């Protein structure tokens, strides 16, 4: 590899010849060889949009000449479009403000802008600090990039994926609307429910998840940009923050606004903590749904065997013909990762003092990972599991007919004690409930058939003789 010599305030340093980044990025790369974790494309894209918007605003305010501004906008747009991702080389585990990554962006955009200017034979040069970072600080840029990227990913990726899964559950429930199955509480037989009722419960969980996430995303619409170093707005135009937010809103079609209070917006990551909490809630909901389907699919002979999930791959290297609920297992592992991410973000929210949180990179990484994997898992769950599952109606009907808990419907007629006796005897003798009830009560067979009709027991009502 060939190198060039770059200079900064600390002196000279070797930088790979083909790299767009400069001295400060190289120093950070040398200082933080911690992991293979890098900022994701949505975050880098947000940085590109921030730098392009800042250049336009500074030009409009008469602080940056049009030639440099246009070059910065064009270079930053390439960053926003993902064309220069390979030049964002820094580890997530770096300086807690994300200053290194802000300078990574400034240096990449500066060098690319200067290439564009040279192609146009312009005399001006773009400086990473003086021009690309004009009116900005890492302390407002990185928090802004967190909010901008998470809102966009939430609205464009996660919310639609949740809605997709919700629609699949509703459609599948409607397909089997008349199928009555044994309900379960404490994993024990309980009163019957329909497939539509059970799947409708999952759909409602997802609807509420959408609402919670949408509410939390609203608190991330306030952009810290304009507060610069500590929230006071030093070294930026008084109108910069409002104009910047308006520019980002126009570029994204999302109603971003300037932070109501820059000190709150820069000193905390409360908005991310809240959003992560709602991602955690969704994750827990998904665990419940996935586990329910695993139970319903269990067997197929030695378990409940109520539904049959798609056979997607062999389930064992030693047991031929075994098929496992792999999509559900994948969903559960995604959810567990999100729970861990939430813990990291929650603790990170406590990290820092006074005017700055100093765990911003790890908040950005974990927040965006949670949003991404939740959205992808929801879509995969919908398309490779829920959409293709079939209900084993014969097995379900057999289970319901032998469920002694149906005797609950007789409580109002014969009393709890006699009903309990009938249930226990039917279970002990492995006999149909209706046969035992006919022997131990004065109700006729036809009356019992009416009262104990499983379909009727899935609706509100009190039986009477």
Distance of alpha carbon 295 from the chain centroid? 25
d(CA 436, CA 209): 45
Q: Which among 241, 18, 194 has a CA at the least distance from the CA of 112?
A: 18
Query: How far apart, in Å, are the Cα atoms of 403 and each of 242, 427, 451, 452?
Result: 65, 8, 14, 11
* Annotated catalytic residue within 2, 9, 35, 186: 186
Q: Is 186 a residue of the active site?
A: yes
d(CA 465, CA 447): 7
Q: Is the peptide bond before 154 cis (omega within 30 degrees of 0)?
A: no
Q: Which two tokens stand for residue 258?
A: 């300037």
Q: Which two tokens stand for residue 409?
A: 């419907």
Question: What residues have CB less than 8 Å from 363, skipping those under 6 apart?
Answer: 146, 269, 272, 345, 348, 349, 357
What torsion, rounded to 10 degrees, do the Cα atoms 26, 32, 38, 42 define? -70
- On whether the CB atoms of residues 126 and 68 are closer than 8 A, the answer is yes
Which H/E stretch holds residue 366? Answer: helix 360-381
Length of the chain: 465
75, burial (CB in 10 Å: exposed 0-12, middle 13-18, buried 19+): buried
Q: How many CA atoms lie within 13 A of 131 on its CB side?
A: 25
d(CA 40, CA 366): 10
Query: Which positions are annotated as active-site residues?
Result: 186, 316
């Amino acid at each position: 590899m060939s190198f060039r010599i770059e200079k900064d305030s600390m002196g000279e340093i070797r930088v790979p010849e083909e790299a767009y980044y400069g001295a400060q990025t190289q120093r950070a790369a040398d200082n933080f060889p911690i992991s293979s974790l890098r900022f994701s494309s949505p975050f880098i894209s947000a940085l590109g949009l921030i730098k392009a918007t800042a250049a336009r605003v500074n030009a409009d305010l008469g602080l940056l000449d049009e030639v440099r501004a246009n070059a910065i906008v064009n270079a930053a747009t390439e960053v926003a479009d993902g064309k220069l991702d390979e030049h964002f080389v820094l580890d997530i585990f770096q300086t807690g403000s994300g200053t290194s990554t802000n300078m990574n962006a400034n240096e990449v955009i500066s060098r690319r802008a200067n290439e564009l200017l040279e192609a146009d034979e312009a005399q001006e040069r773009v400086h990473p600090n003086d021009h690309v970072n004009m009116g900005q600080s890492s302390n407002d840029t990185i928090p802004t990039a967190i909010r901008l990227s998470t809102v966009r990913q939430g609205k464009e990726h996660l919310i639609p994926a949740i809605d997709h899964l919700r629609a699949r559950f509703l459609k599948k429930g409607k397909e089997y609307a008349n199928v009555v199955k044994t309900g379960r509480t404490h994993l024990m037989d309980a009163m019957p429910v329909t497939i539509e009722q059970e799947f409708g419960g999952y759909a409602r969980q997802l609807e509420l998840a959408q609402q919670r996430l949408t509410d939390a995303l609203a608190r991330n619409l306030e952009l810290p940009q304009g507060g610069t170093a500590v929230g006071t707005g030093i070294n930026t135009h008084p109108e910069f923050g409002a104009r910047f937010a308006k520019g980002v809103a126009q570029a994204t079609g999302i109603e971003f606004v300037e932070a109501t209070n820059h000190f709150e917006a820069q000193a905390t990551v409360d908005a991310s903590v809240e959003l992560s909490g709602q991602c955690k809630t969704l994750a827990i909901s998904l665990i419940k749904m996935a586990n329910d389907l695993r139970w319903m699919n269990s067997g197929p002979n030695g378990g409940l065997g109520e539904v049959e999930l798609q056979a997607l791959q062999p389930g064992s290297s030693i047991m031929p013909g075994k098929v496992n609920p792999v999509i559900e297992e994948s969903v559960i592992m995604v959810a567990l990762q999100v729970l861990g991410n939430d813990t990291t973000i929650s603790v990170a929210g406590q990290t820092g003092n006074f005017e700055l949180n100093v765990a911003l990179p790890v908040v950005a990484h974990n927040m965006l990972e949670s949003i991404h994997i939740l959205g992808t898992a929801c879509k995969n769950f919908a398309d490779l599991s829920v959409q293709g599952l079939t209900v084993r109606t014969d097995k379900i009907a057999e289970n319901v007919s032998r469920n002694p808990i149906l005797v609950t419907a007789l409580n109002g007629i014969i009393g709890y004690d006699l009903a309990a006796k009938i249930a226990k005897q039917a279970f002990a003798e492995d006999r149909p409930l209706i046969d035992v009830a006919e022997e131990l009560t004065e109700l006729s067979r036809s009356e019992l058939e009416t009262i104990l009709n499983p379909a009727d027991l899935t609706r509100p009502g009190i039986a009477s003789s």
